[in-house]
Amino acid sequence: MNRKKKTTITDIARKLNTTPSTVSRALADHHRISDEMKKAVWEMVEKMNYQPNSIASALRKGKSNIIGVIVPTSDRQFFASFIRGIEEIVRDEGYHLMICQSDDQYKKEKSSIDTLLNIRVDGIIASVAKETSDISHFQKVKNLGVPLVLYDRVIESLDVNMVISDDYLGAYQGVVHLIEQGCRRIAHFAGKQHIHIYQNRLKGYLQALEDHNLDVDEELIIESDLIQNTYRIVQTGYQMGKKLMKLPQPPDGLFSSSDFAAIGAIGYFKESGIAIPDEIALVGYSNDFSASVIEPGRTSLDQHTIRMGNLAAEQFLKQARTKPEKFLSQKTLLTPELIVRESSLKKVAEKPSP
Amino acid sequence: MNRKKKTTITDIARKLNTTPSTVSRALADHHRISDEMKKAVWEMVEKMNYQPNSIASALRKGKSNIIGVIVPTSDRQFFASFIRGIEEIVRDEGYHLMICQSDDQYKKEKSSIDTLLNIRVDGIIASVAKETSDISHFQKVKNLGVPLVLYDRVIESLDVNMVISDDYLGAYQGVVHLIEQGCRRIAHFAGKQHIHIYQNRLKGYLQALEDHNLDVDEELIIESDLIQNTYRIVQTGYQMGKKLMKLPQPPDGLFSSSDFAAIGAIGYFKESGIAIPDEIALVGYSNDFSASVIEPGRTSLDQHTIRMGNLAAEQFLKQARTKPEKFLSQKTLLTPELIVRESSLKKVAEKPSP
DNA sequence: CATCCTAGCGCAATCCTTTGCATGATATTC
DNA sequence: GAATATCATGCAAAGGATTGCGCTAGGATG
């Protein structure tokens, strides 16, 4: 309809018989501008319904007030709350978020970074796609001096800010819990080992066994792709659960690196009349919403994703305020919290030993 | 570290002994530029690692290639796949998404719109916050001539593009299905009635009953806030389920406007030994992921959210390509699909096949 | 041979804000 | 009362890409 020309500070200046510079300074609350002038400007701003053109501002200042966030996929609760965590922190600082999905594809990740760089974002917060092995695009961000924070799936070799969940410790806690519940043959659904988080979870699992003098049985460790369509992971979990229970010596405990694989396994156990947790106790990972509503309630590791977002945002802010030459990268480890539910709570464990 | 100055087209022009205009046109593949020149420019672009400054471009062209998307909250699968649906379409057109969360608060919604307008987005795709009653901010977008597409929770009175799910029909289908399964006293978990989608679902419910000569019992219709923290909705569902079954004449069917409320109710039914679907058959809404993994599998209405995103994006593109004076708003209704699972499939109701 | 056309490119203005420096007017100091 | 400080504002140049218009050289046309 009436695609009006938007009012600019020049328009305002004209009306007030002054110059754009003064208006600009008045709006920025510059100390060298008189209170009357400021008042007059603000009145005119209201009257003419002025909306600052942040594009022009960004061009001049060389800063867009936008933070680029790259998520592998926003389908997971994890990323949704992580983003929320970032927003909580940066909103008051006047930053806004531009969210890109890499869909775990290297190509999309690279092109997202290019786009973000093109619009001159003030920083990038990213989790690395599962496909990615060439990291030159991240290197480029760093070389350009654009603040970069990696989270969750990171590249250890890159000297940048990182905020990650302590997957090793999480896994360790989960497995120790199973051991304390009386499990002696604990299986593990592992993720692809070129991804750090899954590597660390496996390590935590192994360490927990070792610390309790339990043997490691390779048969009980099943590796699969835990980063893909949720429904497929559930199916895979079902199959893996089946495979485990068909073993000559089936396990009595299961630590799954994915909540969704755990769901699949639970599905199989229930279907086959295998009692949870009595015949097999189970711990998942991520504390997905479903953990509390699927029976039996699923013990899982909460990663405090909102807090993770908070921290990532804070690291960004810190770096943005630091001169590049003074900057030191920082790695924050968040401890996951074991949320115990019925899937791992053996009633027998309450009995005093005879 | 080495925060290099980025190369500009002026730099390239200098190297090639030409002018920025020529470089600009060469990059845009302008027909008045010779092929040799284009080639030379592209080579130099590679060599000097030129990255276009989209800020400057946006300022000059008055177009940012960014679409603003406002979601009430990204915690729900709904919005995640909706966003994916938009991206699928606009990615190839060179558009990018800026996602803002209103958290269902009027204030945040209004401020998000202001921000988006400030960065001169090329269009806005939004779902209205549950709190919103004053719609002047949307009116403003429209008056400014910025393409606006409303989805899911829309404002019917506004003459803008809309893409919505046919909630009336969805509810109707769900309830008819319950009737066909033999239910005669069907309860309904309704959402707050000032929100269109819940109003329409209630209407669909009522119409289905009427069309099958079933009486409406006010006691069986419970209204509650279905837009809030997921865990709370589940709890509310539990309580409402309990309330229903304590009735002198409890229902034999339940149509819930929310999948999560349905989960809560299922929780209560299972706990109390009420058989699903035999004593009470149940249909939810949204076909959330959990529908397929919580037992019993939950019959629900799939809203085809990715497709909804596709359509919203297409409507935006169409409007963006149309002159404002030629533009006619369009309302697209998507038919939800009933996904039948065990929660409503009474064994007795063996279907007579043709 | 004069005129017209066209391909290929340059000039300079434009988009709107921001900001270093200059200016003029008071106010303060010695 | 002259010199300096302070205040409030103006001037003009960025910032990088785009674009209408103008210019030139060469070929085509009559």
| Encoded tokens for A287 | 């504390």
Contacts of B77 in chain A (CB under 8 A): 75
Q: Are residues A211 and A299 both part of a single domain?
A: yes
Residues 17-46 of B with CB under 7 A from strand C: 17-22, 32-34, 36-37
- Distance CA(B262)–CA(B286), nearest Å, equals 11
Instruction: Tell me, yes or no, if B339 comes closer than 8 A to chain A by beta carbon.
Output: no
Indicate if A104 and A230 belong to the same structural domain: no
Nearest alpha-carbon partner for B212 in B250, B173, B257, B247: B173
Burial of residue A207, with CB atoms counted within 10 A of its CB: 0-12 exposed, 13-18 middle, 19 or more buried: middle
Cis peptide before A354 (omega within 30 of 0): no
Rounded to whole angstroms, how far apart are CA atoms A227 and A72? 10
Question: CA B70 to CA B130: how far, in whole Å?
Answer: 13
In a domain, A334, yes or no: no
Mean pLDDT, chain A, rounded, equals 92
Best probe of the B interface among A9, A45, A51, A55, by most B CBs < 10 A, is A55
| Domain co-membership, A126 together with A182 | no
Closest protein residue to D13 (Cα–C1'): A60
Q: What is the pLDDT of residue A73?
A: 78
DSSP E strand boundaries for chain A: 66-71, 96-101, 123-126, 148-151, 161-165, 186-190, 221-223, 253-256, 281-283, 300-302, 331-334, 337-339
Asked whether residue B354 is domain-assigned, the answer is no
Number of structural domains (chain A) is 3
B350 inside domain: no
Three-state DSSP at A277 gives coil
Could you give the maximum distance between any two Cα atoms of chain A, in Å? 94
Residue in this structure with the two tokens 């999560």, named with its chain if needed: B260
pLDDT digits (tens, 9 = 90+) for A273-313: 999 999 999 999 999 999 999 989 999 999 999 999 999 99
Residue type (1 letter), A306? I
**Phi/psi of residue A191, nearest 5 degrees:** -95, 175
- Residues with Cβ < 8 Å from B117, sequence gap 6 or more? A51, B140, B141, B144, B146
Pick the closest to residue A272 from A314, A233, A241 (CA basis).
A241
Q: Which residues numbered 114-173 in A keep a CB inside 8 Å of some CB on B?
A: 114-115, 117-120, 142-145
Cβ <8 Å between B80 and A80 = yes
Question: What pLDDT is attached to residue A353?
Answer: 46
A202 and A230 both lie in a single domain: yes
Closest CA to B266 of B286, B249, B283: B283
A56 touches strand C (CB under 7 A): yes
Residues A309 and A176 both lie in one domain: no
Q: Nearest Cα to A301, choosing from A288, A313, A292?
A: A288
Residues B176, B160: one domain? no
Assign residue A309 the CATH number of its domain: 3.40.50.2300
Whose tokens are 């009635």? That residue is: B193
Q: Which residues, in sequence order, are bridge partners of residue A161? A: A149
Domain that residue A146 falls in? 62-162+305-329
What phi, psi does A25 have (nearest 5°)?
A: -65, -40
CA-CA distance, B125 to B67, in Å (whole number)?
7
A91 shares its domain with A76: yes
Checking each nucleotide's C1' against the CA of B55, the nearest proves to be: D16
User: Which residues are within 8 A (CB) of B216 and not within 5 positions of it... i.e. 6 or more apart?
Assistant: B206, B209, B210
The answer to the question of residue B183 being in a domain is: yes
Report if residue A105 sits inside a domain. yes
Give the residue carrying structure tokens 């990213």: A126
Secondary structure (3-state) at B242: helix
Measured in angstroms, what separates residue A20's CA from nucleotide D10's C1'? 9
Nearest protein residue to nucleotide C12 (CA to C1' distance) is B21
In the numeric block, which tokens belong to residue B24? Answer: 């600009």
Answer yes or no: is pLDDT of A254 > 50: yes
Domain presence at residue B1: no
Contact B118, B140 (CB under 8 A): no
Interface contact flag, B54 A118, Cβ < 8 Å: yes
Exposed/middle/buried for A342, CB within 10 Å: 0-12, 13-18, 19+? middle
Q: Does B305 touch chain A (CB under 8 A)?
A: no
Residues A148 and A267 placed together within one structural domain of the fold: no
Within this chain, do residues A199 and A344 fall inside the same structural domain, yes or no?
Answer: yes
> Do A157 and A295 belong together in one domain?
no
Nearest-10 crossing angle of helices B106-118, B136-143: 20
Work out the angle at residue B65's Cα, subtended by the Cα atoms of residues B63 and B66, and round it to the nearest 5 degrees: 110
- Asked if the C-beta of B348 comes within 8 angstroms of chain A's C-beta atoms, the answer is no
Q: Tell me whether residues A51 and B117 touch, CB distance under 8 A.
A: yes
Distance CA A100, CA A137 (A): 15
Q: Which residue has the tokens 């001049």?
A: A60
What's the residue count for chain A? 354
* Distance of alpha carbon A249 from alpha carbon B174, whole angstroms: 47
Nucleotide nearest residue A62, measured CA to C1': D15
**Non-local CB neighbours of B125 within 8 Å, separated by 6+ positions:** B67, B68, B69, B70, B86, B148, B149, B150, B151, B312, B313, B316
Q: Is the CB of A8 under 7 A from strand D?
A: no
Residue A4 has what pLDDT?
57
Peptide bond into A20 cis (omega under 30): no
C20 C1' closest Cα residue: A21
Contacts of B289 in chain A (CB under 8 A): 230-231, 290
pLDDT digits (tens, 9 = 90+) for A117-163: 988 999 999 999 988 889 999 999 998 889 999 999 999 899 999 99
A95 to chain B: closest CA residue: B115
Contact between A75 and B84 using a beta-carbon 8 Å cutoff: yes
Which one, of B196, B165, B167, lies nearest residue B312 by Cα?
Answer: B165
Query: Among residues of chain A, what percentage have pLDDT more than 90?
Result: 81
Our CA-based measurement puts residue B213 at a distance from the nearest CA of chain A, in whole angstroms, of 36
Dihedral sign from CA coordinates of B197, B170, B217, B247: negative
- List the one residue out of A223, A226, A248 whose CA is nearest residue A235: A226
Q: Residue type for A252, please?
A: D
pLDDT > 90? residue A317 = yes
Distance between CA atoms of residues A291 and B263, nearest Å: 13
CA-to-CA distance for B294 and B282, rounded, in angstroms?
A: 13
pLDDT of residue A131: 87
CA/C1' separation A27–C30 (Å): 39
What average pLDDT does the segment A193-197 reach?
Answer: 93
For residues B7 and A173, give the distance between their C-alpha atoms in angstroms, rounded to a whole number. Answer: 51
pLDDT digits (tens, 9 = 90+) for A90-123: 988 889 988 888 889 999 999 999 989 988 999 9
In contact, B14 and B44? CB cutoff 8 Å = no
- Per-residue pLDDT of chain B (354 residues), as tens digits, is 344 578 999 999 999 999 999 999 999 999 999 999 999 999 999 999 999 999 999 999 998 999 999 998 766 778 888 988 999 999 889 899 888 888 899 999 998 999 899 889 999 999 999 888 899 999 999 988 899 999 999 999 999 999 999 999 999 999 999 999 999 999 999 999 999 999 999 999 999 999 999 999 999 999 999 999 899 999 999 999 999 999 999 999 999 999 999 999 999 999 999 999 999 999 999 999 999 999 899 999 999 999 999 999 999 999 999 888 888 999 999 999 999 999 999 865 455 544
Gap from B36 CA to D10 C1', Å: 47
Write the CB contacts of A155 (distance below 8 Å, at least 6 apart in sequence): A128, A135, A138
Cα–Cα distance for residue pair A200/A285, rounded to 1 Å: 13
Both B19 and B79 in one domain: the answer is: no
Q: Is A322 on the interface with B (CB under 8 A)?
A: no
What CATH number did the domain enclosing A32 receive? 1.10.260.40
pLDDT at A238: 97
H/E/C letters for each residue in A166-233? CHHHHHHHHHHHHHHCCCCCEEEEECCCCCHHHHHHHHHHHHHHHHCCCCCCHHHEEECCCCCCHHHH
Q: What is the rounded CA–CA span in Å between residue B236 and residue B228?
A: 11
Nucleotide closest to residue B20 (CA–C1')? D17
Kindly report the nearest CA distance between residue A293 and chain B, in angstroms: 7
Report the alpha-carbon distance of residue A276 to residue A285 in Å, rounded: 17
Classify residue A3: in a domain, yes or no: no
Number of Cβ within 10 Å of residue A210's Cβ equals 11
CA distances (Å), origin B47, targets A137, B14, B43, B53, B250: 17, 14, 6, 17, 76
- Strand D lies under 7 A from the Cβ of residue A29: no
> Does a structural domain hold residue A151?
yes
* CB proximity A47 to B under 8 Å: no
Note whether A309 and A88 are within 8 A (CB).
yes
Question: What's the Å distance between residue B35 CA and nucleotide C10 C1'?
Answer: 18
The answer to whether B145 CB sits below 7 Å from nucleic acid chain D is no
Round to whole Å and give the CA distance between A9 and A45.
Answer: 9
The CA-CA-CA angle for residues A164, A165, A171, to 5°, reads: 145
A178 and A268 belong to one structural domain? yes
Q: Which nucleotide lies nearest residue A57, CA to C1'?
A: C17
Average pLDDT value for residue range A25-37? 93
